[in-house]
Amino acid sequence: MGLEDSLRSKKATFFVGKGGVGKTTLAASVGISLADHLKDGQRILVASTDPAHSLTDVLQLPYSSEKTRVYPDLPLDIVQIEPRSSDEYTGVHSALRFFKFLSDRGMPIDVDSVSCMISLAEYAVNLEASGYSRLIIDSEPTAGLFRMLDLPENIDKNLRRLSRNPLVPFAVEVLSGMSRKFKKLAAGDFKKDAKTLSSLLTRFKAMLYDHSQAGFVVVASPERDVVAETYRLIEELRRYGFSVDGVVFNRFLGDRYDPSKIRAAQNELLREFQSVHTGIPVNRVPYQGTDNLDRGLLYRIGNRLLNSRQSPIT
């Protein structure tokens, strides 16, 4: 299956890669293109799990963590997934009350990451029920991506183990007596919440590993360090058993590349920036014309910054 077929047919597509290579731009672009060719009644959802939350910036929309309609005439929505606050630990997020209590008392549990993963799983598993035919995911950079992909398996295992442990009901009752906030969660509630979350995670994992439903598109740029990380990322995704559907090299300079236009656009952006942030020194490092940043070149770049003088933008 080619990349085009994958993007058109799979229920969920993850855009993954090193930070700064343009995952958000490509995810938004594919979402717009797919939405433009949908049949009546179908919709596309683009979700970002990247903590940088630049999806609204790319689409020139005000920041929001709520689902947002991008264009009035296009069946496309976006959502930037944020961690839930403790007063939002309801429904399938209810088990987070237990995790939060333990985290606040020193247990190494990243409750925010778990919260975001649960939200993504909800969107993916309930996609059709929510009126969407496709889910495009703008993923966090590589290290965060694999933490997220490990969570469904790890949480599900721990939930099943805790639910079977006869001491858990006793522990929950003891903890309830120690914390006013925790009194809302009784032993029976914990088992019920754990079962609900475990069911969601089981369905989410099944989707991730089903090559007919979910695929991963690796985004890279033609730079040596990025390509090196891309090799490792592809190997790791395949080790997990996921479907790597293609690699997109972004910002590749074509035959019609016009450096004067790029330079003019860059200078205009710098002028706009300096007009807003007048008190911050701004310096520029020219494009080096190579991705082979040897020690001598790195030294010259550093020396330029250490001995820089601001020059006017032309």
Full set of structural domains in the chain with CATH: 3-249 (3.40.50.300), 259-306 (no CATH)
**Taking residues 210-232, what's their average pLDDT?**
92
Neighbours of 283 (CB within 10 A): 10
What does the alpha-carbon distance between residue 118 and residue 92 come to, in Å, rounded to a whole number? Answer: 8
Confidence of residue 2 (pLDDT cuts 50, 70, 90): confident
Do 48 and 162 touch, CB atoms closer than 8 A?
no
Q: In this structure, what are the phi and psi dihedrals at residue 41, rounded to the nearest 5 degrees?
A: 95, -15
The pTM (predicted TM-score) of the whole model is 0.84
Amino acid found at 160: R
Q: Residue 129: what pLDDT? A: 94
Q: Which residues lie across from 48 on neighbouring strands?
A: 80, 138
Task: Looking at mean pLDDT, say which of 180-184, 232-236, 248-252, 309-313 comes out highest.
Answer: 232-236
Q: Residue 68: what pLDDT? A: 93
Q: Residue 72: what pLDDT? A: 93
What does the alpha-carbon distance between residue 3 and residue 298 come to, in Å, rounded to a whole number? Answer: 37
pLDDT per residue over 148-171, tens digit each? 888 888 887 777 766 665 555 555
Q: In this structure, what are the phi and psi dihedrals at residue 266, rounded to the nearest 5 degrees?
A: -65, -45
What does the alpha-carbon distance between residue 191 and residue 167 come to, in Å, rounded to a whole number? Answer: 12
What does the alpha-carbon distance between residue 16 and residue 141 come to, in Å, rounded to a whole number? Answer: 7
**Taking residues 188-215, what's their average pLDDT?**
88
**Taking residues 279-290, what's their average pLDDT?**
79
Do 3 and 245 touch, CB atoms closer than 8 A?
yes
Q: Residue 192: what pLDDT? A: 81
